[in-house]
Amino acid sequence: MPKTDKHTAMFTLHIKAAASDINVPAARSLLLLAAIIVWISRNENIFAVNMIVLAVIIITNLFTATLLVKYRINSLLLLGINAVLVAAATRDLMFPLLLIIIAFVVNASYVKPVIKVEEKGIGIKKSFSNKTYSWQNFSNVVLKDNLLTIDFTNNKMLQLELDNSVMVNEQRFNDYCAQKITQ
């Protein structure tokens, strides 16, 4: 719901995003780390096991987006399976536990992206970045059919699909933004 308190955002818009937006790159990074750990700790007594585990981790890394998005496999489950493989290949529990802890921290730190349209400008808040732009940076800001288009004065443009769960009065929003840009 849009907020109207003068001390908070005039409008709070939730960007349509899924946890996979952060899970895919995070999982790929952790799988790459797992592959490096297996490669560095290869043991000549179980060299074949290490190479099989390494191949499975690399293949999993290549198809991470497909596994997480198309087949909807939970990223923690995917990383847990690979942590077990790392434990089997390295004969050590420290690295797999570290991978699982990092995966839980990344998963817990995910914040759904939000745009706050305020008196001083527009703030875009994501898990790992918060940027606020003053109204002078915009040439146009338009909301139409749950698609927010932000045109910057430097010809950069953002188009963001909004979450359908929050309804915003488009006319009121567009009038407010137009007024702020022309001030």
What are the pLDDT tens digits along the chain (183 aa)?
444 444 456 899 998 876 567 788 999 999 999 999 999 887 777 888 899 999 999 999 999 999 988 898 998 999 999 999 999 999 899 999 999 999 999 888 888 889 999 999 999 998 778 999 999 999 999 999 999 999 999 999 999 999 887 789 999 999 999 999 998
- Consecutive H or E run containing 12: strand 11-14
Quote the CA–CA distance of 168 and 1 in Å, as a whole number.
7
The DSSP output letter for 64 is H
- Boundary of a domain, candidates 90, 108, 126: 108
Length of the chain: 183
Considering the domain architecture, whether residues 157 and 169 belong to the same structural domain is answered as yes
Work out how many domains the chain is built from and give that number: 2
- Whether residue 5 is contained in a domain is answered as no
- Whether residue 34 is contained in a domain is answered as yes
CB 73 within 8 A of CB 24: no
Domain of 148: which CATH number?
Answer: 2.30.29.30
Quote the CA–CA distance of 163 and 96 in Å, as a whole number.
36
Quote the CA–CA distance of 72 and 65 in Å, as a whole number.
9
- Boundary of a domain, candidates 85, 108, 131: 108
Considering the domain architecture, whether residues 116 and 102 belong to the same structural domain is answered as no
- Boundary of a domain, candidates 108, 126, 149: 108
